[in-house]
Amino acid sequence: MTGVLDGIRAIEFGMAWAGPLAMRFLGDLGADVIKIERRDDRGAGLGGGSEAVARAERDEWEWGRLPGPTFRAGVYPNADPGERPWNRAGTFNKLHRNKRALCMDLKTPAGWDAFERLVRSADILFDNFSPRGVLSLGIDAAAMHALNPRLIRVSMSGYGATGPDRNNVSYGPILEGASGLVSATGYPDGGPIKEGHAYPDPIGGLHGAFGILAALWERERTGLGTTIEISQLETYAAIGGELLLQTSVEGAPAPRGNRSRRYAPQGVYRCAADPGIGNPDIDRDDAWLAITIRSDTDWAALVEEIGAAELRDPSYAAVDGRRAAQDAIDAAIGGWTRDGDKHALAARLQVRGIAAAAVMTNKDLVEDPQLNDRGLIVEWDQPEVGPRRYAGFPIHFSEWAPPEMRPTPGLGQDNQEILRELGFDDGEIAQMQSDGVIATTPTPS
C-alpha cells in the first residue's frame, strides 16, 4: 500500500498555521501538494517583518528576555536567522513538509498562464485568504471551475464568505475572543486569558482536511468537483458545546482557573525547576504537575502519600468540604511538590491510582519515551538547518507504513521541476526567471 492519496494533486495558497496544516495532512497521506508563494511571503517568519528587523532584534536579544516579535515569530534554530532566514524559520519548516514549492508572481501574464495550466492538472485548490483576497487574485470558485470542473475548490477564512464580517481578517487569538470561549478562561479574580497557542488554527486546519477528504470521496461517486467554504470562527465555536449549553441554562460560566466543577482538588502545582534549554545557566520555573482527585478514595491516597497534617481535617473527607477549602489544600499540595521532580511525583501518584501527569514542555515531548516508541517523533535533515526532530504523522494504518517525511522545500526550490511538468521548456523557464516571474530569494532590500 502506497500513500493513500497518491495521484492527487493539490494547490495550496496557505497562510500562517491553519491552511498549511490542512494541506500538510494531505501531503503526509501522499498527495502532491504544491505551495504557491510570492517571493516575499516568507519574510522573517510569521511575523511578517523584514530580514533586517529580525537580525537587529537578534543582536539585541539576551537569554532570558522575550525576543522582538519578528525574530520570535521565526523561531530560528539556535536563535540564528542565518544567511537565508526565509528558509530557516522553524514554524514554517514544521508546517510544510511533504510539499513542493513554487514561487511565482500570478499577476504577470506568464505567471497566470502557468497557474491556469496547474489548475487544469489539479484535484484541489485551497486558500485561507479573506473572501476579498480571493476575488482580488481571481481564484474564486466560479473562475476555477471554468478551468477544471472536477476541481475541489476550498476556501477557509476567519469569518466565512458571507455575513457582515466576511471581509474581516483574523489571527487565532482574535477568533478566540470572537468565539466567546475565551470568556471562560482565566482565574476567578482576573479577566479572560487567551490560550497559550492559537487553537482556532489547528481546529480550522483539521476541519479543512476532513472536508477535503469527504469531497474526494464524493467526487469518486459523482465525478464532479465541488466548493468547500469554511469559517474558522464557526469551527472553533463548535467545539464549545458544553459551555454554550451551560450558558443557556445558568448564564455565562465564571472563570475557574485550573479547578473543576466536579472534582476537588484539581490544580497544576509548581515543582523543582527544569534545567535550562539552550543555556544551562538559566533557572527555568515552568515545571508543573497536574493532579485531579476524582473520589474520596483518591483523596485518602493523596493524604497518605503527602503526609501533611493540615490535609487530615475531617471535613476534607467529602468533596464539598474540599471544594470549600481548596485554597488551603492547594497550598499544602504545592508545598509537597515544590522541591520534587514532576515526572517522579507523577509516577508516585499514578501508582496509587491518582490521576496525575507532568506538564510537558516541548523538550519533554521530543524526548518522551511513549511518543518515541510510537514513532511520532521523527528526524529529517532540513536543508539550511540540519538534522532536527519534529512531530510526525499521528495516524497509524495497518497496511501502510508511516509516511516518508520529506523536508520543507526552500523558497522556489521546485520551480523548474513543476514548470517542466506543465510543458514549459528550459528557455521559457529561464526567461521567467530573468523577468522575475519566478524566484528563489525574496526581493532584495
**Cα–Cα separations (whole angstroms), residue 342 to 285, 296, 357:** 12, 24, 8
Mean pLDDT rounded to a whole number for the chain:
90
> What CATH code is assigned to 271-367?
3.30.1540.10
Helix (H, G, I), strand (E, B) or coil at 367: helix
pLDDT grade for 50, boundaries at 50, 70 and 90: low
Mean pLDDT of 89-94: 89
Read off the C-alpha cell for 260: 473543576
Q: What percent of the chain has pLDDT over 90?
A: 67
What residue spans in the chain does CATH classification 3.40.50.10540 cover? 9-239+378-434
Grid look-up 521567467 returns 432
Q: What is the pLDDT of residues 120-142, one digit of tens each?
A: 999 999 999 999 999 999 999 99
Specify the pLDDT at position 281. Answer: 52
Specify the pLDDT at position 156. Answer: 95
Specify the pLDDT at position 445. Answer: 66
Phi then psi for 209, rounded to 5 degrees?
A: -65, -40
Specify the pLDDT at position 351. Answer: 97
Mean pLDDT of 132-154: 96
Is the pLDDT at 89 greater than 70, yes or no? yes
Task: Give the total residue count for the chain.
Answer: 445
Homologous superfamily, domain 9-239+378-434: Crotonobetainyl-coa:carnitine coa-transferase; domain 1 (3.40.50.10540)
355-358 sheet: strands from edge to edge: 266-270, 288-292, 355-358
What residue spans in the chain does CATH classification 3.30.1540.10 cover? 271-367
- Distance between CA atoms of residues 29 and 5, nearest Å: 6
Contact predicate 17/198, CB 8 Å = yes
Mean pLDDT of 233-237: 93
Dihedral angle sign, alpha carbons of residues 38, 44, 45, 46: negative
Q: What is the pLDDT of residues 187-230, one digit of tens each?
A: 888 888 888 778 899 999 999 999 999 999 999 999 999 999 99
Mean pLDDT of 39-65: 71
Specify the pLDDT at position 46. Answer: 47
- Distance between CA atoms of residues 259 and 249, nearest Å: 21
User: Element (H or E) spanning 299, and its range?
Assistant: helix 296-306
pLDDT grade for 282, boundaries at 50, 70 and 90: low
- Terminal Cα-to-Cα distance of the chain (whole angstroms): 48
Is the pLDDT at 54 greater than 90, yes or no? no
Least confident interval from 32-36, 205-209, 241-245, 392-396: 241-245
Q: What is the pLDDT of residues 307-341, one digit of tens each?
A: 999 999 999 999 999 999 999 999 999 999 999 99
Least confident interval from 76-80, 139-143, 305-309, 376-380: 76-80
Cα–Cα–Cα angle for 197, 200, 204, rounded to 5 degrees: 130
